Structure formats: C-alpha cells, structure tokens
Amino acid sequence: MSRTIEVCLTPALLHLYNIENSIVVVIDILRATSSITYGMDNGAEAIIPVAQVEDCLAYAEKGYLLAAERNGEVVVGYDFGNSPFSYTKEKVASKTIVLTTTNGTKAMHMAQERAHQVVVGSFLNLTSLCNWLKVQDKDVLLLCAGWKDKFNLEDTLFAGAVVNVLRKDFVHFDDACVAAEDMYVLAKDDLRGYLKKSSHNHRLEQLNIEEDVKFCLKVDMCKVIPVLEGERLIPLML
C-alpha cells in the first residue's frame, strides 16, 4: 500500500483535497469532538451534530437530549452544554444527544459530501483511532475544524499527534503534516502549556472552561471511534 496522509488546516481549504476515496478524521478538540468521543464511550446510542441552537428544536419532541451553549452558559430549557463532563454514563447511556457545535458540524457536513467515510478524532481516542486507520486500505485526511475557518493550534496539535503515530504506515505526507507533527513533538510534554500561547487562551479563560480544556487534552481515555452515518454519529464497530 502506498497511502497518503494529509492535514487540512481549516474547512476553508477542504475543496483542495481529493477525499472521494479517503477516510476524513474531523478534529474539533475544544470541545466538540472530545465531548462526542467521551459521550459515545459512555454509551450514548447516537450523537447528532447540528450547527445552530435553533436546529436542536426540531428534535425536541423526539425525547433526545439537547446540548447547547451560548457564551459558555447552558441554553435555558436544554439538558446540558458542551462540557465533556456533561457526557457521563449516568446522563447519556443509551440516549441520543443533539449537540450544537458550529465549527465541528460544518467540518463534518462538508466532509460527508465527498468523503468515503467520516470519523471523529480527539486526544481521548488517539491510539484507538490510529490503530484502526493503520489497517484500513484508505488514504487519510485529518480535517481541523479550526475557529471560524481560521487555523488553530489545538486541532493542528492533534493532527500532528496522529501523523506522529502513523508516519511509518503512510508513504506520502504533505507539508501540513510536517508542520503539525513538529508542533506536536514540541508541545506533547505539556499540551496545556503550549496552548497558553494561543490567541484562544484568553477566550477560554473568560469562558471559565479550564477544567474542560485539561480534560480534552487527556490521551487515550476512550476506545470508541464515532463514525458519521447520515446525520448521526454512532460507534464504529471494531
């Protein structure tokens, strides 16, 4: 196999990549793909990512759990927000959750239009994800959800972590792989410290989600790989 692995640094660049025969890993570390991974690992039956809080309303009657935040606060009438700590066994086991996430949902839907398969990655399922990607006979595109179509550090660091693990199993790498991997190697011993360099850091501190950030940077707490089937993320059968 002469497989290619590439990093798409923001959804605004996705049109440049041929993904028809690729597995696309959507990465939105703070906090969508981390919460999704944790919730599914805790037994959520399905998670439906939507872009706008209003989009949740259509699902209200179905008895689904609704997760949405505005400015770091749980939206009135919703079951919980976007903190991974909300996605505990007690709350989500065998439930379907509708999750509001702007950047992550956009990336998933854009990828789904063309990709062979769309899965979700986060530090929480790093090794499980890489072990699976290793044995697929497919090219891989690591799609960073970014921040309003701009490059961000946390998603790129995770892409670099995946490249670092899979380097020996892929033949072709693009320049973004090289950059992402080098950033990850530089940051891996203190991911949280590295992210303090980020322009988002001030925003994160304002949102008072420091514990969320630390949690989203924990490695390999989960085994599950969420895969997008239609509008639903479900656990990939391993």
Binding interface with its own copies (CB under 8 A): 9-10, 12-13, 16, 147-153, 156, 172-176, 178-179, 182-183, 186, 197-200
Least distance (Å) between residue 58 CB and its own copies: 30
Structure tokens at 124: 């929480």
Least distance (Å) between residue 86 CB and its own copies: 27
d(CA 168, CA 161): 13
Least distance (Å) between residue 183 CB and its own copies: 6
d(CA 72, CA 106): 20
State which residue, 89 or 172, has the beta carbon closest to its own copies.
Answer: 172
State which residue, 202 or 214, has the beta carbon closest to its own copies.
Answer: 202
Alpha carbon distances (Å) from 57 to 60, 64, 77, 171, 199: 5, 10, 11, 46, 33
Of 82, 105, 92, nearest to 44 by C-alpha is: 92
Least distance (Å) between residue 139 CB and its own copies: 14
State which residue, 92 or 159, has the beta carbon closest to its own copies.
Answer: 159
Least distance (Å) between residue 4 CB and its own copies: 10
Backbone Cα Rg of the chain: 17
d(CA 26, CA 98): 17
Least distance (Å) between residue 13 CB and its own copies: 6
State which residue, 58 or 178, has the beta carbon closest to its own copies.
Answer: 178
State which residue, 22 or 86, has the beta carbon closest to its own copies.
Answer: 22
State which residue, 7 or 66, has the beta carbon closest to its own copies.
Answer: 7
d(CA 154, CA 217): 9
CA of residue 113 relative to chain centroid, distance = 18
Structural contact between residues 139 and 150, judged by C-beta atoms closer than 8 angstroms: no
- One-letter identity of residue 36: I
